[in-house]
Amino acid sequence: MIKLTSPYQHCTLCPRNCGVDRTQTRGRCGCTDTLLLSRAALHFWEEPCISGTGKDAPGSGTVFFSGCSLGCCFCQNHEISRGAVGKATTQARLTEIFLELQAKGAANINLVTPDHYLPDVLAALSAARPGLRIPVACNCSGYETVETVRALAEHTNIFMPDLKFFSPDVSEKFARAKDYFAVASPAISEMVRLAGPPRFDDNEMLHSGVIIRHLILPGHHKDSLQLLDWLAEALPKDGFILSLMSQYTPYLQSPYAELNRKLSSYEYKAVVAHAEALGFEYIYTQQRTAAKEEYTPPFDLEGI
């Protein structure tokens, strides 16, 4: 007789490959095999083609998963990314949540850092599929295996990866992940290949495609310029939407002095100008007023 084991035993779901038995203890992501959610509600602060615009915006049906396999020291969602906040949820309940968000008028289902719960997420999406009529988006750190991307692509219309760091020294300093770019670059390339170029519906909402998000960090805009150069060389310039974010907010006192301030106008404008010069087809930019704590929702277990 073959003994069936949990997919969370000797966990290798993320590039950390920590090998921890999450049925017994926490993995590098900060989570056990218990599915933890911190919020499931309409969210109005994503890109316009995800949340909509104006007073009649539908909002994005955003599901925040607790824990994170990357763990940046400056995370704006640090309350949940470190696994401290969350409610135990079943796979069946997750399926219900997807359908409830659709019933509330969500433009899409937006999965925020779901990769370390991949088996449960895929099963819940599969169960919801007969009744789900809106796109599914995977909102992730970019630090994913190509295998995870391919598995998610079977149920996902939209990928929304961060592309955080180019320099191994910078990614090691801020995320203890010297291999970040080496891992994220093939993963994001695969997302673009599988999802195809951006496709919009009649209301200019994104139906399928990839939004590559990049948060410019104070003191490190030159790293951002190198990322843009790579994107221009490696991917079709009309094959994805580039979202350049100025919203870095120093929530916590950091041991790194450069992170204890907001981004300067010069730094942000230099990155935007470089992106425009490189000729990307689709670019979202932000006002510097986006650097506000109000853009982070309350992780109050709503909708769970």
End-to-end CA distance of the chain: 38
8 Å CB contact between 205 and 52? yes
pLDDT by residue, tens only, the chain of 304 residues: 444 478 899 999 999 999 999 999 999 999 999 999 999 999 999 999 999 999 899 999 999 999 999 999 999 888 888 766 899 999 999 999 999 999 999 999 999 999 999 999 999 999 999 999 999 999 999 999 999 999 999 999 999 999 999 999 999 999 999 999 999 999 999 999 999 999 999 999 999 999 999 999 999 999 999 999 999 999 999 999 999 999 998 877 788 999 999 999 999 999 999 999 999 999 999 986 665 555 678 899 999 9
Contacts with 257 (C-beta within 8 Å, 6 or more apart), sequence order: none
| Residue 257: DSSP 8-state | G
Question: 191 near 157, Cβ under 8 Å?
Answer: no
Distance CA 158, CA 182 (A): 22
Tokens 């992170």 map to which residue?
Answer: 259
Between the CA of residue 95 and those of 106, 109, 272, what are the distances in Å?
Answer: 15, 11, 39
Report the distance separating Cα 100 and Cα 105, nearest Å: 9
Beta-ladder partners of 214: 244
